Structure 1
Amino acid sequence: MTWIFNRPSDFAKEMVTGFVSAHASQVRQVPGGVVRNTKSRPASVAIVVGGGSGHYPAFCGLVGQGLAHGAAMGNLFASPSSQQICSVARAANNGGGVLLMFGNYAGDVLHFGLACERLRSEGIPCETLAVTDDISSASLAEKEKRRGVAGDLVVFKVAAAAAERGDSLAEVLTIARRANERTRTLGLAFSGCTFPGAEHPLFSVPEGKMGFGMGIHGEPGISELDILSSNALAQMLTRSLLAECPDGVTRPEGARLGVIINGLGAVKYEELFVFWHDVEQQLSAAGVVIADINIGEFVTSFNMAGMSMTLVWFDDELEALWQAPASTPAFSRGSLLPQEPLDAVQLEQSSVIPIAQGSAESQKAAVKVMAMVDALAQTVIAHAEELGQIDAIAGDGDHGIGMERGVIAAQLAAKHALQQGGGVGTLLQCAADAWADEGGGTSGAIWGVILNTLGTALGNNEKPNAASVAQAVTQANAGVMHFGKAKPGDKTLVDVLLPFSQALCAAADKGLSLSQAWHKASDVAQKSAQETAQLLPKIGRARPLAERSLGTPDAGAVSMAMIISAVADCMPVGIDQGSPREKVCP
């Protein structure tokens, strides 16, 4: 259980506010997260980390001298939006570029990738790195698909120390990649965690069993085993981790290792010390040199009863960077670094985003687009429970509530943009940022991509027509496939968005009006959504439980088709046709 909270929906925001108040000498709050409240080396690389809330001390507790410059924080177990990440990165930027670092989860990959592109477009050099230390989540041959767990701390710390010594962005990225390649983690769970206000745990483990290799959000592990003694657990984890030596290491004997024993929330320090007592004997028997040991809570999961063990295979440079001084609210190392407060000018940061004005024609069209946003919001809200039930077949069941949060925020932001004189482009872009902020997760990121791309393509000057809308939808589909890495047949909303886009283009090429073209393409979308029932998911959280979803359509595909249909209902089909033109689609 989570015992102390007010309204569950306010938990993450109130937690951040309380954290900042308690550590005001080291961190300050900015829209989207926290940044250092102390001066950093001028022209140095800024390390911005982030992910969902609920994993303290990851991620905000790692902000401070010698470690991260900022942390972007999403809702509970949900990625921060690209807008939140950009806000934190701008505030943390020292003039040497920004390295965005996160665990390798679909929502994080999407949002941090979008943020990277946006920052680059603003003239801020930026790179990304997804930590992939969890050996249970994918084979060595597919290590790029592995999750980031407690090994986050190692990679973040090494990168930050390189930035502190003055390395360039390219050099910091190189050393961070090496730290990631040489870090391995394996964990297990005895029981699930419970969100504030929830009556049941997010996931469960059978009584008397443990989920070996289970992820920090309840992602499936390698197997369910009977609970073992500490000594047997130590043998199992140590053997598994030592069996996978990184490139350049032929055998464990003589290797210098850093070790992290991490409690996930309910397994406490005393138990971790018992476990380390047994692990140390296993490592000594294997002939390795224990260069450093950290025991405690570094990446948690509310009250999850579980733990993990991380090994980092040091070389001289990695060890020196890991041992370099750091002082943050949750992690300190070596001699204290001087902490000089920021001055008033450096503290000043505006969170007001100017509203780009639309032409008279675009403002008039924006009124109609607002009606479409209202209609699709009503549709999503009305079907939120149904979408959650579909998603629960093979996923975590949060698609409906995530879509509802996102669409309500998008509706409010769009209305504000319209009232401030925004055109179609501004209205859609404001809705995109709000949806991504509040919706969270993969669906929040994807709808942020879709609406932002539509807004950018349609702009604030011209009245949308069949050709311009078809082109914009084509670009949105390309953006989703690029950032989400989904392909047709992967059982995602791409299996609706792509055929819808193609049908819309074909109708526009024939000279049909926007309303006629949209209605024709909408029929294709509905059919495509139902056809996803015969597909097996190949990416995302549903992939490990793919067989369960056979016969059930994808929740994201269904919600996409619902939204397309809701928009169609706002477009009376006229008899007018446009004039012949060049083909919209290649």
Structure 2
Amino acid sequence: MTRLFNDPAAFADEALEGFVLAHRRWVRPVSGGVVRSVPAAPGQVAVVIGGGSGHYPAFSGLVGPGLAHGAAVGNVFASPSARQIRTVAKSAHTGGGVLLMYGNYAGDVLHFGQAAEQLNAEGVETRCLAVTDDISSAGAEDLDKRRGIAGDLPVFKAAAAAAEEGRPLAEVVRVARHANARTRSFGIAFSGCTLPGADHPLFTVAEGRMAVGLGIHGEPGIGEQDVPSADEAAELLVSALLAELPEGVDQARGQRAAVILNGLGDVKYEELFVVYRQVAGLLAEAGVETVDPEVGELVTSFDMAGVSLTLCWLDDELETLWTAGADTPAYRKGDARASAGRTDAAEQRDETAEAVPPATEESRAAARTALAALTAIRDTVDENAEELGRVDAVAGDGDHGIGMSRGSGAAHRAAAAAVEAGAGAGTAVGAAADAWSDRAGGTSGALWGVLLNAVAAALGDTDRPTARTVADGVGEASAAVRRLGGAEVGDKTMVDVLVPFAETLATATAEGEALAPAWDRAATAAEAAAKATADLVPRMGRARPHAERSLGTPDAGAHSLALIVRAVHGVLAAPTGR
């Protein structure tokens, strides 16, 4: 378990601060992550990687010459927000464009995709690539649905080495796609990890058993079997990867491969070497030539007792890029040394705070009501955070309660500051939206940011909001969440609650009901819809590989949304509500 921490909510920020202080030669801090302490040559493509905290050396430990130009780092097991990614990318950019790279998880896909859209709109040419190496998370017919685990490293490395050679953005993207297409990983685990402040792991495995096909966010494996010997574990890992060769690798014999035996946090180096001894022998028997193998902790999951094997099938181009020099805090190869550079805390670049736009007194009054609603949301989430985490852990990674608590708390603080500064309802709710997205990270952070921004746009800073105005904003929020996340009713997500809530609210207000009774009617529909998700199996997100496990349990995002809209009704129904 994680033993050394202060406030669990501050763990990721404090860990990143300490990391920077320990590695000033390589990195300097920027808002949302780190970039190289010495910028790359002008015109070089900037490779920016990222994801949640809890996976060190991924992602901040891989920033330096020959590897990433910057890393956007989110909260524990939660993607960084689009704003954080954009800030890191702009700090790393030297004129050659940006390639954003991350594991194929819903929250990362949403946030990095949003950041790319914003960067392109600002004139910074940006492309995205999600790593999809984990063979256990989807079948060979659904390669785009696979998640990224330790295969991140060879894919990141290939792209970064191509950038270091001075290749243009289109070529760097091509190399990254090529490396990703030829990379496969498979893992096993003997116990789950325990998040800072938690008193139990995200999943457990019975004594003498192990999980097969693990994720790196505390997701349980896709199956279980008896704990093997080290040689038997090696045989399982190697046989699983040799059973699925990428397109273009016709047979293993005569092929070359970059090999990574990765420890997930609680399997120590000597154990890994024992396993690698057999891995190397089995690959040699299969006629596979190993090239610059890596054995150690490269993509971890706090204290998870597990190990994964990655094979990146090389051709002449990929071998040159794999063996090229790199010099980062956690990964060094060949000759690519970082020069010393200043990394004073004062150098951290934050986006300039914008002045609060003018607002009418009617809108300021509505902002105070919105703040009261955000207070109720924060309190409701905090009261139910443990239960939300338990529900999420049935088939997911168990962090929904933590993420919602971070997000709702940050949203409340941002809105309170905006109201204090005289903001109208649109500005106050918009500030809450950005703060929720920044601090929660993950899929829910992105979606709640989009949801609240849609409501903020409808409220504006001029007029006193009417029931129809609010209903229209919620309707646009429902549409925006579906556009961004790609989910529809029946996929077992928050959309299963948001759609009936928005539709019922629209109907009630169109019939002339005041906002409070209309919201009550819509909240009742939301509660019924959330309960009904227990009968669904997930078709999206981290829970999808464990779909059957979630039967009988409601979706955590749907459940939290139902709790929230009911809490907001309490504010609207009060004498000061609108």
TM range (shorter): over 0.9
Q: 1:512 to 1:168 in 2, by over 3 A?
A: farther
Q: Does 1:423 find its partner at 2:427?
A: no
Aligned to 1:230: 230
Q: C-alpha deviations, 1:143-171, integer Å up to 9, x for none? A: 21111111101111111112222233332
Q: C-alpha deviations, 1:332-355, integer Å up to 9, x for none? A: 1221346363799x9462344224
Report the Cα distance in structure 2 between the residues aligned to 1:342 and 1:6, rounded to whole angstroms: 28
Q: 1:96 to 1:454 in 2, by over 3 A?
A: farther
Aligned to 1:493: 494
Question: Following TM superposition, by how much is the alpha carbon of 1:392 offset from its aligned partner in structure 2, in angstroms?
Answer: 4.3
Question: Following TM superposition, by how much is the alpha carbon of 1:53 offset from its aligned partner in structure 2, in angstroms?
Answer: 1.1
Q: 1:349 to 1:541 in 2, by over 3 A?
A: closer
Q: 1:31 to 1:343 in 2, by over 3 A?
A: closer
How do 1:199-214 residues align onto structure 2 when only pairs under 5 Å count? 199-214=199-214
How do 1:278-317 residues align onto structure 2 when only pairs under 5 Å count? 278-317=278-317
Secondary structure in 2 aligned to 1:74? strand
Q: Does 1:454 find its partner at 2:455?
A: yes
Question: Following TM superposition, by how much is the alpha carbon of 1:41 offset from its aligned partner in structure 2, in angstroms?
Answer: 1.6
Report the Cα distance in structure 2 between the residues aligned to 1:488 and 1:104, rounded to whole angstroms: 22
Q: 1:250 to 1:375 in 2, by over 3 A?
A: same
Q: 1:485 to 1:414 in 2, by over 3 A?
A: same
Q: 1:259 to 1:547 in 2, by over 3 A?
A: closer
Report the Cα distance in structure 2 between the residues aligned to 1:109 and 1:411, rounded to whole angstroms: 26
Q: 1:323 to 1:456 in 2, by over 3 A?
A: farther
Secondary structure in 2 aligned to 1:476? helix
Aligned to 1:4: 4
8 A contact 2:496–2:558 mirrored in 1: yes
8 A contact 1:516–1:573 mirrored in 2: no
TM-score normalised by structure 1 residue count? 0.91
Larger CA deviation: 182-191 vs 554-563: 554-563
Aligned to 1:411: 412
Q: Which amino acid aligns with 1:66?
A: G
Report the Cα distance in structure 2 between the residues aligned to 1:545 and 1:245, rounded to whole angstroms: 24
Q: C-alpha deviations, 1:240-294, integer Å up to 9, x for none? A: 2122111122111211211111111222222222222212221121122223211
Secondary structure in 1 aligned to 2:572? coil
Aligned to 1:68: 68
Aligned to 2:77: 77
Q: 1:525 to 1:226 in 2, by over 3 A?
A: closer
Q: C-alpha deviations, 1:297-348, integer Å up to 9, x for none? A: 111122222111111111222121222221111111221346363799x946
Question: Following TM superposition, by how much is the alpha carbon of 1:548 offset from its aligned partner in structure 2, in angstroms?
Answer: 4.2
Report the Cα distance in structure 1 between the residues aligned to 2:343 and 2:498, rounded to whole angstroms: 49
Secondary structure in 2 aligned to 1:218? coil
Report the Cα distance in structure 2 between the residues aligned to 1:297 and 1:448, rounded to whole angstroms: 34
Q: Does 1:399 find its partner at 2:400?
A: yes
Q: 1:174 to 1:551 in 2, by over 3 A?
A: same
8 A contact 2:530–2:554 mirrored in 1: yes
Q: 1:478 to 1:268 in 2, by over 3 A?
A: same
Q: 1:470 to 1:220 in 2, by over 3 A?
A: same
Report the Cα distance in structure 2 between the residues aligned to 1:148 and 1:386, rounded to whole angstroms: 28
Larger CA deviation: 67-76 vs 370-379: 370-379
Secondary structure in 2 aligned to 1:195? coil
How do 1:175-186 residues align onto structure 2 when only pairs under 5 Å count? 175-186=175-186
Q: 1:466 to 1:96 in 2, by over 3 A?
A: farther
Aligned to 2:375: 374
Aligned to 1:187: 187
Aligned to 1:99: 99
Report the Cα distance in structure 2 between the residues aligned to 1:384 and 1:194, rounded to whole angstroms: 16
Larger CA deviation: 333-342 vs 397-406: 333-342
Q: Which amino acid aligns with 2:237?
A: L
How do 1:14-163 residues align onto structure 2 when only pairs under 5 Å count? 14-163=14-163
Q: Does 1:336 find its partner at 2:336?
A: yes
Aligned to 2:242: 242
Report the Cα distance in structure 1 between the residues aligned to 2:338 and 2:378, rounded to whole angstroms: 51
Report the Cα distance in structure 2 between the residues aligned to 1:94 and 1:228, rounded to whole angstroms: 50
Paired residues in the alignment total 573
Larger CA deviation: 23-32 vs 107-116: 107-116
8 A contact 1:137–1:221 mirrored in 2: no
Secondary structure in 2 aligned to 1:177? helix
8 A contact 1:107–1:440 mirrored in 2: yes
Q: C-alpha deviations, 1:418-447, integer Å up to 9, x for none? A: 122322222112111222233333322221
Q: 1:259 to 1:458 in 2, by over 3 A?
A: same
Q: 1:522 to 1:212 in 2, by over 3 A?
A: closer
8 A contact 1:39–1:340 mirrored in 2: no
How do 1:518-537 residues align onto structure 2 when only pairs under 5 Å count? 518-537=519-538
- Structure 1 unaligned blocks of 5 or more: 575-586
Q: Which runs of 4+ in 1 moved over 6 A?
A: none
Report the Cα distance in structure 1 between the residues aligned to 2:437 and 2:284, rounded to whole angstroms: 48
- Structure 2 unaligned blocks of 5 or more: none
Aligned to 1:566: 567
Report the Cα distance in structure 2 between the residues aligned to 1:244 and 1:171, rounded to whole angstroms: 27
Report the Cα distance in structure 2 between the residues aligned to 1:263 and 1:400, rounded to whole angstroms: 28
Q: 1:266 to 1:469 in 2, by over 3 A?
A: same
Aligned to 1:436: 437
Larger CA deviation: 553-562 vs 52-61: 553-562
Report the Cα distance in structure 1 between the residues aligned to 2:263 and 2:17, rounded to whole angstroms: 25
Aligned to 1:584: none
Question: Following TM superposition, by how much is the alpha carbon of 1:414 offset from its aligned partner in structure 2, in angstroms?
Answer: 0.4
Aligned to 1:170: 170
Secondary structure in 2 aligned to 1:184? strand
Report the Cα distance in structure 1 between the residues aligned to 2:532 and 2:222, rounded to whole angstroms: 31
Report the Cα distance in structure 2 between the residues aligned to 1:53 and 1:391, rounded to whole angstroms: 19
Q: 1:386 to 1:210 in 2, by over 3 A?
A: closer
8 A contact 2:138–2:545 mirrored in 1: no
CA RMSD of aligned residues (A): 2.5
Report the Cα distance in structure 2 between the residues aligned to 1:573 and 1:10, rounded to whole angstroms: 34
Question: Following TM superposition, by how much is the alpha carbon of 1:28 offset from its aligned partner in structure 2, in angstroms?
Answer: 0.9
Q: C-alpha deviations, 1:435-489, integer Å up to 9, x for none? A: 2233333322221221123224443344433444333323322222233232210
Aligned to 1:387: 388
Question: Following TM superposition, by how much is the alpha carbon of 1:22 offset from its aligned partner in structure 2, in angstroms?
Answer: 1.0
Larger CA deviation: 488-497 vs 510-519: 510-519
Q: C-alpha deviations, 1:185-215, integer Å up to 9, x for none? A: 1111122223334333332222222222222
8 A contact 1:39–1:341 mirrored in 2: no
Aligned to 2:547: 546
Report the Cα distance in structure 1 between the residues aligned to 2:4 and 2:391, rounded to whole angstroms: 31
Aligned to 1:473: 474
Q: Does 1:482 find its partner at 2:483?
A: yes
Q: Which amino acid aligns with 1:56?
A: Y
Q: C-alpha deviations, 1:497-532, integer Å up to 9, x for none? A: 112222333345456555554444333323322322
Aligned to 1:579: none
TM-score normalised by structure 2 residue count? 0.92
8 A contact 1:238–1:279 mirrored in 2: yes
Question: Following TM superposition, by how much is the alpha carbon of 1:572 offset from its aligned partner in structure 2, in angstroms?
Answer: 4.9
Larger CA deviation: 460-469 vs 470-479: 460-469
Q: 1:120 to 1:507 in 2, by over 3 A?
A: farther
Report the Cα distance in structure 2 between the residues aligned to 1:462 and 1:550, rounded to whole angstroms: 45
Larger CA deviation: 213-222 vs 300-309: 213-222
